[in-house]
Amino acid sequence: MPGLFRICLLFCAFASPPTSRSSFAPPLPTTGSGIGVTFLRMPELVKNQGGKNIPLDAEVVFKNLSRYDAVWLSQDITWNNRPAWNLLQKKSPGKLMLGYVCSLSSQPRTSFEYVFDYDYINTYHPEWFLVKDTKDPLKADPRNPDNRIRWAPSDKNSYSYNRFYLDIGNKEFQDWAVQRLLKYVSGKAGEFDYTLWKNRNLDYSYDGIAFDNVVFRSIRVRFNKPYPNWKYADDIDGWKNAFLTYLGKVHKALAANGYLLVVNFSFYWELTREESDLYDLADTVDGIMHEWAIGYGTDGAGRVNRHWSGETWLRYIERHEAILKRDLIDWWACYPSTDPNLGREQFMYAYCSFLLVKRPGYSLFYASSDKGLHRNDKVPWYGEYDLPIGQPLSERYLKDNCWFRDYTNARIVVNPAEVSRKIALDRDKQWLEERSKEALTELTLPPKSGRILLPVSSGADVQNSGIKK
């Protein structure tokens, strides 16, 4: 059962407290691909017949999902294909299956927000909602939905218009949320009194919680201008500390029962004063997902449209390494452009940067240039994932102003500069550049780019493979 193995580990840990998390087994398969999917596509689970979704054969789903080491929103499987879930638990017990929950919102029963029951909060604890103005008595009553901070306030037709932010600093809410999350992750969510969710297969347990929308000081960007009198407008550090207390309670309860807490930590890493936030967070979680892993700014579809370079890129890489050194899961989620050429370069820059620091058993990568929701038909997959590069043989190292890392069957190279770089490979050994299929002894890398180089053992290999010389 999910969590059972980790319960045994935690029992041993409490008997003899470890000095670091390295005393525990890695949370992910050490020989896996390192690919972690956030939102599965429906064709991976079901087939559409006459407008109805019919579950695919469990073995087909098992094959479809065998490429992933982790799934962020695993309830898509339990909701849509029970036999496949049961088979996955039997044949792939090491795959990390998380139950998705938004950390700071609640809405009527139309989505994944059932864990933080809107009807209960609205009826018994409306003070748990954040209001727009705490100073004006006429606007401070949380029982009036129009006084609350909405997720999508400008669009009454939006799915998230009646989704409301919660005061995660309220201690009563924190304690209630912990108990709700424990029931959910342990397969006891069926006890929730939800007519709508009776057939949603809530009696399935997961390996942990995927906590979305963990936001510290950058919350001021969302709230301080439109709501200058909201509760934490003059105390953003108070919001951060409240969030840390909240996460600490959740993490302690989950860990005591053998479950993990992985969070999507969204904040502006270019702000140096927030650097400590990452390390404060690391003390309260088991893993961190980064949707802006080495980039910043998004287009209208939420894709990152600018990427870090130079010393800023290096600082981000070092932050990823700091997470891994703490034995935490470091999960990259990247959204390349839909433009074929630009998107390809953006993907390679992100993926090769990831490979520079990848730690088997702790590192996950996901990329998709799809515009829409996870229901779209296209399953994002990149051929580079299937290259037999093997395991890391070295740490990253600097050569010719580019960063390299050696793998068993490959060499990774990244140029994080804003200018092209010409690099020498080996004088008496050729390397196959996987994109151009050319065998090379030197290579010119465009600005902000990455490449995977495969060894060519002899000239005969080049001639017989059809590779360009």
Domains of the chain: 4-386 (3.20.20.70), 397-465 (2.60.40.1180)
- Residue 22 pLDDT grade (very low, low, confident, very high; cuts 50, 70, 90): very low
Q: Would you say residue 189 has pLDDT above 80?
A: no
Name the more confident of 303 and 183. Answer: 183
- Computed over every residue of the chain, the mean pLDDT equals 85
Tell me the mean pLDDT in the region 183-211. Answer: 76
pLDDT at position 70: 97
Dihedrals φ, ψ of 458, to 5°? -160, 165
CB 408 within 8 A of CB 393: yes
Q: How many CB atoms lie within 10 A of CB 145?
A: 13
- Residue 362 pLDDT grade (very low, low, confident, very high; cuts 50, 70, 90): very high
Which DSSP string do the residues of 258-284 spell out, in sequence order?
T-EEEEEE---TT-GGGHHHHHHHHTT
How far apart CA 142 and CA 133 sit, in angstroms, is 10
Q: Would you say residue 175 has pLDDT above 60?
A: yes
pTM value is 0.89
CA distances from 289 to 161, 214, 232 (A): 26, 10, 25
Name the more confident of 159 and 60. Answer: 60
Q: In the structure encoding, which two tokens stand for residue 335, read together?
A: 């959204």
CA angle, 243 as apex, 235 and 152 as ends, to 5°?
80
CA distances from 393 to 49, 396, 399, 456 (A): 49, 10, 16, 18
Secondary structure of 432-455 in HEC code, one letter for each residue = EECCCCEEECEEEECCCEEEEEEE
Q: In what order do the strands lie in the sheet with 449-456?
A: 397-399, 402-407, 410-415, 449-456, 430-433, 438-440
Dihedral sign from CA coordinates of 146, 301, 240, 233: negative
CA distances from 99 to 2, 52, 155, 211, 296 (A): 11, 25, 28, 8, 27
Q: Would you say residue 467 has pLDDT above 60?
A: no
pLDDT at position 459: 41
Q: Would you say residue 2 has pLDDT above 50?
A: no
The position carrying tokens 């709501």 is 227
Is residue 50 packed enough to be buried (19+ CB in 10 Å), middle (13-18) or exposed (0-12)?
exposed
pLDDT at position 276: 82
- Residue 19 pLDDT grade (very low, low, confident, very high; cuts 50, 70, 90): very low
CB 172 within 8 A of CB 128: yes
pLDDT at position 297: 60
pLDDT at position 327: 96
CA angle, 348 as apex, 276 and 414 as ends, to 5°?
65
pLDDT tens for each residue of 269-318 = 545 556 788 889 999 999 999 987 887 766 655 556 678 899 989 988 99
- Residue 425 pLDDT grade (very low, low, confident, very high; cuts 50, 70, 90): confident
Q: Would you say residue 437 has pLDDT above 60?
A: yes
Q: Would you say residue 58 has pLDDT above 90?
A: yes
For 196: left if phi > 0, alpha if psi spans -120 to 50, otherwise beta; the answer is alpha
CA angle, 40 as apex, 37 and 375 as ends, to 5°?
140
pLDDT tens for each residue of 364-422 = 999 988 755 566 668 889 999 999 999 999 999 999 999 999 999 999 999 999 999 99
Q: Which residues contact 423 (CB under 8 A, 6 or more apart)?
A: 399, 400, 402, 413, 415, 442, 443, 444, 445
Which DSSP string do the residues of 314-368 spell out, in sequence order?
HHHHHHHHHHHHTT-EEEEEE---SSHHHHHHHHHHHHHHHHHH--TTTEEEEE-
Q: In the structure encoding, which two tokens stand for residue 274, read together?
A: 């927030």
pLDDT at position 300: 56
Q: In what order do the strands lie in the sheet with 70-71?
A: 36-37, 70-71, 96-102, 208-214, 260-265, 287-290, 329-334, 363-367
